[in-house]
Amino acid sequence: MEKVLVANRGEIAVRVLRACRELGLVAVAVYSDADRDALHVELADEAWHIGETAPAKSYLNVDGLVEVARRAKVDTVHPGYGFLAENAAFAQAVLDAGLRWVGPKPEAIAAMGDKVAARKVAEQAKAPLVPGSVEPLSGPEAAVAFGERHGYPLALKAAFGGGGRGMKVVGSAADVAAGLESARRESKAAFGRDEVYAERYLEAPRHIEAQILADGRGEVVFLGERDCSLQRRHQKLIEEAPAPGLPEEVRVALGKAACDIARAADYENAGTVEFLYEPGSQKFYFLEMNTRIQVEHPVTELTAGIDLVHAQLRVAAGEGIPASYDGLVSRGHAIEARINAEDPGARFVPVPGPITAWREPAGPGVRVDAGVRAGFTVPQAYDSLLAKLIVWGEDRDQARRRMLRALDEFEIEGVPTTIPFHRLAMHHPAFVAGEVSTVLVEQGMDLSSLQPAILDGAGQPTAKPPPRRLVIELEGKRFDVDLFPQEAVKVPERIRTPRSPKALELARAESGGPGKEVVKTPMQGTIVKVLVADGDTVKAGQTLVVLEAMKMENHVTAHQAGTVVGLEVTEGQTVPTGATIATIEAA
Ligand code: MV4
């Protein structure tokens, strides 16, 4: 192994390039139009342009990537996570080109990517499973029959999906048809296939996952678990290792189940076996296996004292699992906070745009894995992860305090980020107590203190005009004084509350007049579904269009009942923030 193509972008491309450099390997980056000035391009030994910004034209283009691998004369391809990392056809194309693939064999990727097949593997390995349908559902009738047998709510899941995309929870037989259609559509859009299966839905489980490493010759080691329960709409926000409060015998059983599943799948390289865990019963259930390095791998690295990407490259080179991995003991506690270009004060809407200032925290026990820097423009086309802030402490509380300190040091300007959310989370009594669950963020946290970012007229966050700084010394003590300019700041529509009848009248006029509601796009993105037509009657809360932005589907709804007039969008159209979708005339 001498030269590695890193078929990815952002922080994980940087992470892998660094590992290559440390191992004396030549690291080759690829980039799309939007990534010409990206950090991963600068840090690579070589960089090759692979196409337009749209992922399908660049980071998802199998033939284009294999062609670049050939022209760059690499001997190995590392896929990172996301994009083609769990695409068996890409792994096969890499192998067919005579190159090493840093990951499991295409057969294992395919088996685990098909969640129904994965359940069969777990069954064969005698690992515990959530009760569910083994075959994909033939239609709504089959789902209703399953609901009658196992009870509601049901989880309808994309058989070829993952990460919650394409998953819908249905509370009753009446919701099955709509839930199934929505799961199928999201799955088709995200993964190109629309098979869906059903499981009994657990109400407030913890998400605990096991990191394993397999040499492909039957040896599998368990490298520790991570708790990834703190998420919002299936987007993980905070991960930690070890899982707080997990009884030792459960940890051992979970590690063994993960290794058994990996062996049954004839697995090779690093992988993650996900479980749902119910603290009350101390029962855990196999969810799925991810056949890639994960975003949250650093918390395992810091507690196990290992480098998982080095290990991946070593295993791919045929060196096997490092001997020292046998008797690993976990030390201390690690927490990771995902720093996303999102506005936590506005329902975590992704906000692409230019980063005008960027200063990372440092100091004891602090690690930053970033994919951006000052001056880079965060593209709309990719996910919103800018960086991961990972801290290690001797124990959980030291790690938590260290995270708070590091969050305070992190300075990012130009785009809003999830940092204010993380501060709130680190102070939340349930988090402090280690009582995490997958519903904590959405149901247990009061996020109302998070202010929306200041937006300009077009709905984009203004790069806050930097304050003028004045340093004064008063009786020998230094004070930094920030002077803010006096111009009126345009307040975004969603936080404007008309206070007087006159203001109310003006607001109405602006919104289309009395009885009219102009529905606008809350963010820039692509219209993937138009669910209404001019003249349709809609109820308040009814979805008008589905808007995809930064890989998430967002349902744009009518706020009042009425008739749709002046529909202005079509499927496939790209829209900016604040574009008019339609007007709803009150009935
Ligand atoms: C579930 C579940 C409850 N019951 N399955 C969401 C992501 C996907 N990997 C599986 N997910 C879930 N599957 C059953 N039968 C709850 C979730 C779930 C979840 C899982 C892991 C992490 C966060 C989650 C948040 C909400 C729901």
530-580: pLDDT as tens digits: 999 999 999 988 999 999 888 778 889 998 899 999 999 999 999 988 889
Residue 79 CA to residue 52 CA, distance in Å, equals 19
Nearest CA to ligand 1 atom 1: 201
pLDDT value at position 499?
Answer: 60
CA atoms within 13 A on the CB side of 34: 20
Of 320, 108, 286, 107, give the one whose Cα is nearest residue 213: 320
pLDDT value at position 508?
Answer: 61
Which of 13-17, 188-192, 385-389, 454-458 is the least confident region?
Answer: 454-458
Nearest CA to ligand 1 atom 21: 207
Q: Is 164 in the pocket of ligand 1 (CB under 6 A)?
A: yes
483 or 505: which carries more pLDDT confidence? 483
Residue 495 pLDDT grade (very low, low, confident, very high; cuts 50, 70, 90): very low
pLDDT value at position 489?
Answer: 53
Q: Ligand 1: which of 438, 440, 441, 552 to mutate, judged by most atoms within 8 Å of the beta carbon?
A: 438
Whether 162 shows a pLDDT value over 90: the answer reads: no
Q: What residues have CB less than 8 Å from 500, skipping those under 6 apart?
A: none
Residue 163 pLDDT grade (very low, low, confident, very high; cuts 50, 70, 90): low
Q: How far is the CA of 550 from the centre of ligand 1 (A)?
A: 21
> How far from 302 is each of 93, 125, 221, 255, 335, CA to CA, in Å?
34, 30, 17, 18, 9
Q: How far is the CA of 437 from the centre of ligand 1 (A)?
A: 11
Positive or negative: CA dihedral 37, 42, 44, 46: positive
Of 513, 522, 519, 498, give the one whose Cα is nearest residue 567: 519
pLDDT value at position 462?
Answer: 56
Of 544, 566, 353, 361, give the one whose Cα is nearest residue 458: 353
Of 316, 300, 321, give the one whose Cα is nearest residue 25: 316
Mean pLDDT on 117-132: 93
Whether 490 shows a pLDDT value over 70: the answer reads: no
Over residues 133-148, the pLDDT tens digits come to 778 899 999 999 999 9
Q: Is 201 in the pocket of ligand 1 (CB under 6 A)?
A: yes
Residue 498 pLDDT grade (very low, low, confident, very high; cuts 50, 70, 90): low
Q: How many other C-beta atoms are found inside a 10 Å radius of the C-beta of residue 409?
A: 13
Q: What residues have CB less than 8 Å from 510, skipping those under 6 apart?
A: none
Give the predicted TM-score (pTM) of the model. Answer: 0.82
Residue 537 CA to residue 562 CA, distance in Å, equals 6
Residue 455 pLDDT grade (very low, low, confident, very high; cuts 50, 70, 90): low
Whether 315 shows a pLDDT value over 90: the answer reads: yes
Nearest CA to ligand 1 atom 25: 438
Q: How many other C-beta atoms are found inside a 10 Å radius of the C-beta of residue 393?
A: 19
pLDDT value at position 494?
Answer: 47
Q: Is 65 in the pocket of ligand 1 (CB under 6 A)?
A: no
Whether 292 shows a pLDDT value over 50: the answer reads: yes
Q: Is 142 in the pocket of ligand 1 (CB under 6 A)?
A: no
Residue 540 CA to residue 71 CA, distance in Å, equals 56
Say how many residues make up the chain: 587
Mean pLDDT of the chain: 92
Q: Is 440 in the pocket of ligand 1 (CB under 6 A)?
A: no
SS3 content of the chain, % helix, strand, coil (to 5): 30, 30, 40
